[in-house]
Amino acid sequence: MDRFESEYRNIGGMMGASIVILTYNNSDLAIQLADNAYAIGMFEKIVLVDNCSTDDTYEKLHRIFSENNSVVVIRSQKNGGYAYGNNLVHRIINNA
């Protein structure tokens, strides 16, 4: 399993309600949104998608949420826009 595949192993087979938060160069807002979604307590998974940020967004998100099994942080290999980031998660879930 390569690094790309291993980042996604935790979102396969999701059955309950989940939320996808797409971010680009805005780790602070993504952290705030994920924390708020977690506090609601109704999501099985919170999926944070770093849309190929040019700053340290992915590293920061990964560091903060690496111990939280409810939060999955993935990095898109390209910035294909909003729809691409959301469709990436959809494809991963359907292929798991």
Q: In this structure, what CATH number is given to the domain that contains residue 44?
A: 3.90.550.10
Positive or negative, the CA dihedral 81, 91, 29, 66 is negative
H or E element at residue 72: strand 71-75
The rounded distance, in Å, linking the Cα atoms of 85 and 78 is 9
Domain count, the chain: 1
Taking alpha carbons only, the member of 45, 49, 48 closest to residue 77 is 49
Q: Which domain holds residue 16?
A: 3-95
**What is the structure's pLDDT at 31?**
97
Q: Is the pTM of this model over 0.75?
A: yes
**What is the structure's pLDDT at 75?**
94
**What is the Cα gyration radius of the chain?**
12
Each residue's pLDDT, cut to its tens digit, for the chain (96 residues) gives 344 444 545 555 545 788 999 999 999 999 999 999 999 999 989 999 999 999 999 999 999 999 999 999 999 999 999 999 888 888 887 775
- Residues linked to residue 18 through DSSP beta bridges, in sequence order: 45
87 token code pair: 């469709």
**What is the structure's pLDDT at 68?**
92
45-50 vs 71-75, strand pairing mode: parallel
| Residue 26 CA neighbour count, 13 Å, CB half | 10
